[in-house]
Amino acid sequence: MRVTSLPQFARHLNRVTEVASILSKYGLADWVDRLDIGLLRGLYRRTIHRSLADLTTEVRVRLALTELGTTFIKLGQVLSTRPDLVGRALADELTLLQANVPADPSDVVRGIIERELGQSIQELFLEFDDQPLASASIAQVHAARLKDGTSVVLKVQHAEILSRIRTDLEILRGLAERAESYIDELRPYQPSAIVREFERILNRELDFLREMRHLERFRNAFSGDPRVSFPKPHPELCTSKVLTMDRLKGVSFGELPRRLAPEDANQLARDGARVFLEMIFRDGFYHADPHPGNLVLLPQGAIGILDAGMVGQLPPTLRDDLTDLLFAIGSGDPGEMVAILTRLSQPSSVPDPDAFAADVADFLSYYQGVPLNRLDISAALNEIIELVRQHHLILPTGIALLLRVLVVLEGTARLLKPDFRLNEVIDPFRQRLLAERFSPWRQWKRLRDVLKDYQ
């Protein structure tokens, strides 16, 4: 098929060629070949440099996505939350994706701020540092001081980033359509649906007013809680492209093990885990990226939580699904576990039901007799994710994200307390889930919903 017959590619042939060239550079040319995009075949090489050939496929994928830039880096970061789709090895490698994007020049940044906020830098701030604190894929961060002396940071979206992302999204939609047509083993994973979901996530992350509202919601939920602090946004200095918030200065969790006494580190690990579990199970609204770089220990001893662009929600129905899943592990009933996983997943059937049932029974046998309050939750959830992937099922986005957050949360806590397990702090939440699950009101609501289905 001629590439010019594919509108997504014809409009952006230079970028399509660049994508194909970078994929082939990292030894991923076979992926391009299988998409049957005719005119691209002569535009990339099939051999890779010896230094790259020695790397694992997972590392080469990460490096390729990094070189492809913002949109593909974000895609990789989203896929890192979906080991049920890409496998544990690749998901873990994609968590290492970082974008040290060159910062926009200071005059460009100042221009964006002044256009967005409608005043000059001198009118807006007592001080403004032209040297960015960091520059990532979507935005760069600058320190400043308000007229009243408050120390703040400004998250400023990179210039022209929206047009570049729109181009890449259009190309990704075309690649997903080709993948569904030409790569049989990818078809069950619905590449087009994945790209649509990724586009939704990315568009939300590009709207800094949404992140501002996230911060306000977290601050309200933990108002008066001395354990935790979120940056205070300044709405009058926020737009979809500029986010102004108080600066939280502290020590990153990644550096803390060298600075804290063991007993202090242990307590901090437990407090941090409790805060995130309260977001999840108490509020149903949680920060979805609890990696060490987003957590700092503030001078007053509170945990500062940064970057609220990525959040998850746990509505009652999803909470019931998670509760069912955890209790199915505890009950050791393979039939119940198979029913829950197939009910939750897409498609709602597996290619080989007998093999799936046997693998579920084998998984449960390992945890037979282990009470929930002693369960290694992280290990069990990782095994469930791999089990689902091996049998070509796809978990709902909400469940997959939550499972990943719990695993990452436990990993972050283990930086401070190497033998930490979530079950050390999850028991009160488990008891609450149990009480809610079997409350008379919940039972009546479930019965009412069932009766509705038969009307």
Coil, strand or helix at 16 = helix
Q: Measure the CA–CA gap between 292 and 253, rounded to whole angstroms.
A: 5
Tell me if the bond preceding 231 is cis, omega within 30° of 0: no
Q: Measure the CA–CA gap between 439 and 442, rounded to whole angstroms.
A: 5
HSE toward the beta carbon, residue 358, CA cutoff 13 A: 5
For the packed helices 397-416 and 377-390, what is the interaxial angle rounded to 10 degrees? 140
HSE toward the beta carbon, residue 125, CA cutoff 13 A: 23
Running DSSP on this structure, what letter comes out for residue 280? I
Longest dimension (CA), the chain: 70
Structure tokens at 10: 């014809």
Helix boundaries (H) for 69-105: 70-79, 83-86, 88-94
Q: Specify the pairing of strand 295-297 against strand 303-305.
A: antiparallel
Distances 10 to 17, 138, 162 between C-alpha atoms, Å:
11, 26, 20
Q: Measure the CA–CA gap between 26 and 14, rounded to whole angstroms.
A: 19
The answer to whether 35 and 179 have CB atoms below 8 angstroms apart is yes
Whether the CA torsion 241, 16, 392, 372 is positive or negative: it is negative
Amino acid letter for position 94: L
Whether 289 is catalytic is: yes
Coil, strand or helix at 149 = coil
Q: Which residue out of 104, 289, 307, 359 is catalytically annotated?
A: 289
Nearest to 196 by CA among 342, 402, 397, 405: 397
Nearest to 405 by CA among 377, 376, 371, 435: 377
Burial of 386-418, coded b for 16+ CB within 10 Å and e otherwise, reads bbbbebbbbbebbbbbbbbbbbbbbbbbebbbe
Catalytic residues: 289
